[in-house]
Chain A
C-alpha cells in the first residue's frame, strides 16, 4: 500500500469531456499507483462515472490523455481497455443470470477454446478465489447468488482477464454491512497483490475506511486530492457539497396549523427487496415545509413513494389528517389531496408522447370539471392547461405538441403547474429543481413558498443542501433510511452538524422532540 517512487499504473491528464452543453469533466488529473486504493468521491452528477467511462473505453475524451504504465493509450472500446489491464465493475452488473459463474467468466473471452475448457476454468477460478479471498461456487447459476456474491463474480471476471487496475463503481450501494466487510477484505487482498483500485463512492464512512488517497470531484472539477489518513468526515462532507452560500429567501414567518401528514415508524423495501426505510417517523403541518436533506441513495425515493401510496409499507402507519391511509391505493391518496412531484419527470411524471392537455389530464381525468360521467371534457382541460401554461410560464408552441419536445425546464414547469394548481393539501416534491436553469429554479422555489403560504403541507426532498436549507421550516437529515436528526431552525444549523448527520451520526437531542407533534 505504499506508493513511493513507483510508476503509476494509470495516469489521466487534463481530461475534459462535454455532452451537449454540459461539461461533465474539466481538465481532470487522476492517477493510480500499484497497491493503492484511490477513491473518487463526489455527489451525483459530479463527473465520476464519466471519467471512469473514459478510462474504460466507453467514451472518448474531448481533450487530455491517458497513460498506462507510462505508455500513451487511446481506448475505442471496453475490449481494448480490458486488454490494457483496466477492469471496471459497473454498478449494474453485466452478468447473464441463467448461466453459471464459470460460464459468465469466460463468455466473450478472446482466445477461448472451441470446446469450453470447463475443468481448466474452474481450476483457475479456484486459484483466484484462494488468492484474493473471493469465494464463489463456480457451478452455481448467477441468479441463485446473492448480490454480494454476484459482485464477487464481476470482480473475478476482471481478475480472470488479468486486470491490473480495478475500478469499482459504487460497489457498496447494493451490499449489506457484512458483504461490505468482505468486499473491503477483498480490496485489501488485491492491493497486497499489487493491483491498483479505484473506488467510486459517495459514502463517507466507507471512503474513510478504505482509501489511501481521496480525490473529491465537484461539478466536473477536482476540488482536492488528499491522503486518506488525513481526511475527516466533516472535511469531506464540506468539500463535497461546497461552501455554503447564504441564500437569502423572502420567506414569511408563518404559524403552522394542524398536522396534515404523519408517518409512524414506517419500514419499506427498495426494488431489490432490501430495506430502504427503517422505522422512520415524521410529521408535517399546514403551512410548513419539511425538508429532507441527505446524500442520494439513502431512501429518499422510497420514502416519497411510500408516503403517496406507490410503495407498500411493511410496518408502521401513514396518516393523512388523522385518517389511516396505510395500504391504500395510489388513487385514494390522489383523491385525498396528495400531490407528488417525482424526481423522474420524463419516465414517471409525464407521458412524453402525449401532449400538454393530455399530460394535465393524467392527474385530473377523474376530477369533477374535467370529467362528466364517463366522458372527458377537453374544453375544460384545455382551458385549465392554457391557464397553467400562462401562470407557470411554460414556453411551448402550442398545447397539442408532445411534451417530450419541451425543454427540461418547461416540462418541470408544466408538471409543477399541474400538481400545484389543484390546491393540494400535501405536496411531496422530490428534486424539483434538478437540472433546471437559474430562472426556472427560482420560479419553482417561489411557487413552493406560495403554496406554503396558502396552507399546504410540503415535504421537500433535495440533494441540494443550500436549497433545502433556504426553503425549509424544519429540516430532517436522512441516512440509510433513517432520520438522523431534526433541526427546528435550519438557518441556525452549522454545515458541520449537517455533514455529520449526512454521514450517519445522529443528533441525539432532536430525536426526542420529533416523536409527538
Chain B
C-alpha cells in the first residue's frame, strides 16, 4: 500500500487564499532575498531596516513612497484592465512614454499661460497618445489575431527610442550640457504639489481612477461585458457581446490611463523629460497588477508597497552602496513566488492510497 500524490484541480478557492497567497508569496520572496543578501556578506536585517526607514521612517520618506506609488497605481490599473480581458498588454512602459511625450509636445507647441488649460490639454493629448499606442496593438489582435504580447513589447522600445530621439535631438535643452534633457516646463504647465513634499495632484487622478475602475468592473454593463469576455469568449458571443470591438476599446482605455501616468510624471514630478525617465514603471506595473489580482482598490495598496520597495532601493544605494538595480532582484523573486503560489491556488495535492 504505497501512498501516492496526485495533483487535482480545486473546485473552489477559499476566499482567505485571495490575500493570504500573495502575502505569503511576498514573505517567501523577502526570505529568499534575505538569504541571498547574507550570502553576499550584506546583513539582510540591516538592509531591510534601511529600506523601511528610508521609505516609511519619516514624513519625507512616506511622501516619496507616495510619489512612486502614483504612476504605479495608474499603470497598474491600465495593465489590470487589459489583463482582465486576457489581453497581454506588456506595453505600459511605452504607453507611459508616449503620454509624457504628448505632454511635452503640448507645452512646446501649444503653450498657454493658464494652468487649467494646460492641464486639460496635456491630459487629453496624453490619453490620446497612450490610447492610440495601445489601441493599435489591440486592433491588430482583434482584426488579424496578431500576438499582442509581442506587438506591445516591441512598441515599448519604439516609444523609448522615439523619446531618446526627441530628447537628444530637436527638444534638447541647449543649456543641459552633460546630461541631455528637455527644457523645463513653465510654471503653468506644472502640476501643483502638496505641502513641502513632491507629491503632486496626480495622486487624486490615481485614486480617482482606481475608484472609477472599481465602479466600472462591479457596477457597469461594460465592465461586466469585459469580465465575461476575459472569462469565457464563447459565452460572451452567446450572450450577444461583441468581443472584437471591446478588445480595441479596452486596449485604448488601458493605454490612455498609462499615458496619464506618463503625463503626471513629467508635469507633476520631474518637470522635464530625461532619458530613462519612465524607470521601468511599466514593467513594475505588471507585478502590481498580478499581485493585486487585477483588483483596482488592491492596486493602490500594492502600488504603495512596491513604492516602499523602490524608495527602499534608493536608500540602499545611498546608505549601503548597493546598486539601484538590486531592488529588481526582490521584484523578480516576488514575481517568482507569486507565480508559484498561484499553482497552489488552483491545484491541491491529494494523497491517495492505491491498492496493489
Contact = CB atoms under 8 A, between A and B. Distances in A.
Direct contact between the two chains A and B in their complex (CB within 8 A): yes
Interface of A: 310, 329-331, 333-334, 340, 342, 347-354, 358, 361-363, 365-366, 371, 374-376, 378, 401-402, 404-405
Given A331-B240, A349-B235, 17 more contacts: A310-B237, A310-B238, A329-B240, A330-B238, A331-B242, A334-B240, A349-B238, A351-B228, A354-B228, A354-B231, A365-B221, A374-B221, A375-B219, A376-B221, A376-B224, A402-B12, A405-B11
A342 B238 contact: yes
B239 interface: yes
Which of B224, B232, B235, B242 has most A Cβ within 10 Å?
A: B235
Contacts of B238: 310, 330, 340, 342, 348-349
A348 B231 CA distance: 11
Contacts of A342: 238
A366 B12 contact: no
A362 B239 contact: yes
Given A329-B240, A340-B238, A405-B12, A351 B219 contact: no
A330 B235 CA distance: 12
B236 to A, nearest CB: 8
B88 to A, nearest CB: 19
Interface string B200-232: 000000000000000000011110110110011
A340 B235 CA distance: 12
B270 interface: no
Contacts of A347: 232, 234-235
Contacts of A358: 224
B225 A365 contact: yes
Contact of A330 (B220, B224, B227, B240): B240
A351 B232 contact: yes
A350 B240 contact: no
Given A351-B228, A405-B12, A366 B235 contact: no
B196 to A, nearest CB: 41
Give me the 3 closest cross-chain CB pairs, A-B, nearest first: A331-B240, A330-B240, A351-B232
Nearest to A377: B219
Contact of B220 (A349, A351, A375, A404): A375
A404 B225 CA distance: 19
Nearest to A353: B231
A404 B346 CA distance: 14
B252 to A, nearest CB: 17
Contacts of A378: 219
Contacts of A330: 237-240
5 contacts: A310-B237, A334-B240, A348-B234, A362-B239, A371-B221
A330 B241 CA distance: 8
Contacts of B219: 375-376, 378
A310 B237 CA distance: 8
Contacts of A361: 224
Tell me the interface secondary structure of chain A in the complex.
mixed
Nearest to B240: A331
A98 to B, nearest CB: 17
A191 B239 CA distance: 50
Given A329-B240, A334-B240, A402-B12, A352 B220 contact: no
Contacts of B11: 404-405
B348 to A, nearest CB: 15
A333 B239 CA distance: 10
Interface of B: 11-12, 219-222, 224-225, 227-228, 231-232, 234-235, 237-242
A400 to B, nearest CB: 10
Nearest to A364: B239
Contacts of A334: 239-240
A21 B224 CA distance: 37
B222 to A, nearest CB: 7
A354 B225 CA distance: 12
A334 B238 CA distance: 10
A347 B238 CA distance: 10
A374 B237 CA distance: 20
B24 to A, nearest CB: 23
A362 B12 contact: no
A363 to B, nearest CB: 6
B15 to A, nearest CB: 10
A374 B12 contact: no
A362 B229 CA distance: 11
Contacts of A365: 221, 224-225, 239
A407 to B, nearest CB: 11
Contacts of A331: 240-242
Nearest to B223: A376
Given A331-B240, A375-B219, A378-B219, A362 B228 contact: yes
A371 B224 CA distance: 11
Contact of B221 (A310, A348, A349, A375): A375
Contacts of B241: 331
Given A363-B239, A405-B11, A405-B12, A374 B234 contact: no
B12 A350 contact: no
Contacts of A310: 237-238
A104 to B, nearest CB: 25
A329 B237 CA distance: 10
A361 B11 CA distance: 22
A349 B232 CA distance: 10
Given A310-B237, A330-B240, A374 B220 contact: yes
Contacts of B224: 358, 361, 365, 376
A363 B240 CA distance: 8
A401 B12 CA distance: 9
Nearest to B216: A374
A302 to B, nearest CB: 15
A331 B239 CA distance: 7
A215 to B, nearest CB: 31
Contacts of B240: 329-331, 333-334, 366
B109 to A, nearest CB: 36
Contacts of A402: 12
A261 B124 CA distance: 50
B23 to A, nearest CB: 22
B209 to A, nearest CB: 17
Contacts of A353: 231-232
B222 A374 contact: yes
Nearest to A305: B238
Contacts of B225: 365
B352 to A, nearest CB: 15
Contacts of A354: 227-228, 231
